[in-house]
Structure 1
Amino acid sequence: MEESLVPLGFRFSPSDEEIVDSFLYPFLVESKPFMSLYNNFIHSCNLFGNNTEPSEIWKKYGGPQLVDTDLYFISKLNKLTPKRMDRRIGNGGTWSETESSKLVHEKVSGNPNPNPIGRKRKFRYENKGSEDHTGWLLDEYSLFDGPKNDYNQRSYDFDFVICRMRKNDRVGIKATNLKRGSQDTEEKKMNTNKKMKKDDQMGSTESSSQQGCSSSPIGGDLVEFDPIDLTIFEENTMADMEQLLGEAWSPSNFENVVSHDVDPIGETQSSQLSNWSQAILNQLLVGV
């Protein structure tokens, strides 16, 4: 197995001053190539005028395998004028500057007012037609060729810059929250549908139970009696009515009525027979 040129536990995370003073200056002024170790971390790729999406560049140069680090590139500027750069990239996208640039000062121990040696600019990838839209950030480092009287000057002294590209964590967090929110909404919708379905089933069961009230609580059918025919009082004398009433309450008739239901004690039928007999009795009393 080939041994890695990267020392164990090494992380390439240079400061702004180190990028400009220790990498850009030797490369641009002294024409010194990067040490072989750093060639594993600073790749040569033009990030301006490139038709490749940032996510594809990230994948090509091993971004998915990185842990707690970013990708670094030495990139050539695509100049339109000394002050205007063409920053197009991908399929219709561009690197859009997000904030004012800041000066990078030389790192000199004990010097409270170090000289500015370069400039740092911040960009974000924008392309509304791409999934990469706002998902990538770029820090661009440029080198001054000497002391400047006007630090607000926007022109570049050299044609090459070092860029640090990384994912936009805010977009990742937002996408995760949106996905989580969508899942929560879908779960709530499913639970609501389940509850509504359960309520419908319970309502159907209760409706069936209410419809079954026409049957005896014990399961038998109630014995129905025909409405009282009042002509019986016109066709029979008082003596005949007394005889009919006695026959209605005879033990044999009572047993016949009770036998129509599974109720062993015949409480329902007894109550109905009593009501029928009471109606006859009331008519008898009226006729007295």
Structure 2
Amino acid sequence: MEAAKSLLPVGCVFDPTDSELVGYFLYNKIVNQLIPNLDYFIPEYNLYGSEEPWEIWDFFKQQFAEECRKDLFFFTQLKKRTLKESKINRTIGEGTWHGEDAGLEIIHENHRIGKKKRFRYENKQSKQHGGWIMHEYSLDLSLLGLDQHDNFVVCRIRKNELALQKNQREKSEQVKRRKVVEADPEKKNKRTKVQKVDPESLPLSILPITTCSDSSTIVQQSAELENDEYGSIISQFGYELEHGDSQQFFDIDDIFRS
């Protein structure tokens, strides 16, 4: 490890181009061409295993602390979901690497040498959701021999600082809202309580008082009250008015008291 560090001059970082990652490092890894200290610069590690991206990051960042790398590079092997399937298993830890594009071709000296795909860490139950980006580089099949396999890829991992900061802000806001609700349970009850209306507690509707000069109107209204317990009294009152017996006056209070 110390010998490999001495190969980098002070102030230099390991930051290869896409063409160098595919055409030099990945190609020589697949064809078993020895590159001095390759395992130090690009170690082989399972990026589709049980460890989370930040756990891998924290472990290897300690080794490259002096180089101040913003990215980490790894060789890893692709694994199919089942022997009969062609789809690759993209799970990592409790999340998954979600593809964001179909891949971009890598061209070197007018020749296609590989492809670059972008992935995003997804786990909606984690505060690290969307906080990690992985670029996966694969070698073009035309460069592979008959006894060589295309399941080896080289990957670059980096933090998505903006997404991590956004997640942190949202988490802090959720904690603040939770504390406010817990501090004032009465407010929570008011917000969640469904008010139920008791129809028996409502006052009876008051019919509007209508002034009628036409006695036939009174008769018509009294007919609507035939089923009422006072309907017969009102009907009789209307009959008296209609047949001209208007000299006989009734005290309405006396009628209902009777």
Fold equivalence (TM over 0.5): yes
> Equivalent residue for 1:19?
21
Q: 1:46 to 1:115 in 2, by over 3 A?
A: same
Any stretches of 5+ residues in structure 1 without a counterpart?
109-113, 149-155, 190-288
- Asked whether the 8 Å contact 2:100–2:118 carries over to 1, the reply is yes
- Residue type matched to 2:46 in 1? N
Moved more, 129-138 or 16-25: 129-138
What is the rounded CA distance, in whole Å, between the counterparts of 2:171 and 2:128 in structure 1?
17
- Residue type matched to 1:104 in 2? I
- Residue type matched to 1:165 in 2? I
Q: Tell me which structure has the larger Cα radius of gyration.
A: 1
- SS at structure 1 position matched to 2:75: strand
- Residue type matched to 2:117 in 1? R
- SS at structure 1 position matched to 2:141: coil
Residue 166 in structure 1 maps to residue 144 in structure 2: no
Residue 127 in structure 1 maps to residue 147 in structure 2: no
- Residue type matched to 1:43 in 2? P
> Equivalent residue for 1:34?
35
What is the rounded CA distance, in whole Å, between the counterparts of 2:143 and 2:23 in structure 1?
14
TM-score by length of 2: 0.57
What is the rounded CA distance, in whole Å, between the counterparts of 1:79 and 1:125 in structure 2?
19
> Equivalent residue for 1:94?
96
- The Cα offsets for residues 33-64 of structure 1, whole Å up to 9 and x where unpaired, read as 3321x43221110112x011111111111268
> Equivalent residue for 2:79?
78
- Residue type matched to 1:84 in 2? K
CA shift, 1:82, in A, is 6.8
- Asked whether the 8 Å contact 1:118–1:141 carries over to 2, the reply is yes
Identical pairs, percent:
35
> Structure 1 segments of 4 or more deviating over 6 A?
179-183
> Equivalent residue for 1:218?
none
Q: How many residues align?
A: 168
Any stretches of 5+ residues in structure 2 without a counterpart?
181-258
CA shift, 1:128, in A, is 1.8
- Residue type matched to 1:33 in 2? L
> Equivalent residue for 2:138?
142
> Equivalent residue for 1:263?
none
- Residue type matched to 1:146 in 2? S
What is the rounded CA distance, in whole Å, between the counterparts of 2:143 and 2:34 in structure 1?
24
